[in-house]
């Protein structure tokens, strides 16, 4: 009986450890997505700020479009994580802006 209890406790510990690891990795992924989105938004801002009248705007528009596509790809990956209710609302708001 003691042996059975020990096995059950070990299995419970493994399950808890696995669950905590998954949550931790999920949150790290989310943090990475947020950082990458921020970087892409910064790149868009730089592209806009450094445009002058003599510059080829079609190239800037292409670069901005590429950054926006990257943001939307990251948002899709973000949505695939386990969102908190607040994250789901904020992400939905962000998608409407983008």
Number of domains the chain contains: 1
**How does pLDDT run along the chain (98 residues), one tens digit per residue?**
666 666 677 777 677 767 667 777 778 888 899 999 999 999 999 888 877 666 677 788 899 999 999 999 999 999 988 888 898 898 899 888 88
pTM: 0.74
Measured N-to-C along each axis, helices 2-49 and 57-79 cross at an angle, to the nearest 10 degrees, of: 160
d(CA 54, CA 34): 34
Answer whether 78's CB lies under 8 Å from 36's CB: no
Distant-in-sequence, close-in-space partners of 51: CB < 8 Å, separation ≥ 6: 57, 60
Domain span at residue 70 reads 2-97
* Residue where the block lists tokens 């939307």: 72
> What is the per-residue pLDDT for 50?
78
Q: How far apart are CA 8 and CA 82, in angstroms?
A: 28
Compute the residue count for the chain.
Answer: 98
């Amino acid at each position: 009986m003691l042996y059975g209890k020990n096995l059950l406790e070990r299995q419970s510990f493994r399950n808890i450890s696995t669950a905590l690891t998954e949550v931790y990795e999920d949150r790290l992924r989310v943090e990475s997505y947020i950082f990458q989105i921020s970087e892409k938004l910064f790149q868009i801002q730089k592209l806009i700020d450094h445009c002058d009248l003599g510059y080829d705007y079609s190239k800037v528009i292409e670069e901005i479009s590429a950054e926006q596509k990257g943001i939307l790809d990251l948002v899709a990956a973000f949505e695939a994580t386990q969102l908190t209710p607040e994250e789901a609302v904020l992400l939905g708001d962000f998608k409407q802006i983008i």
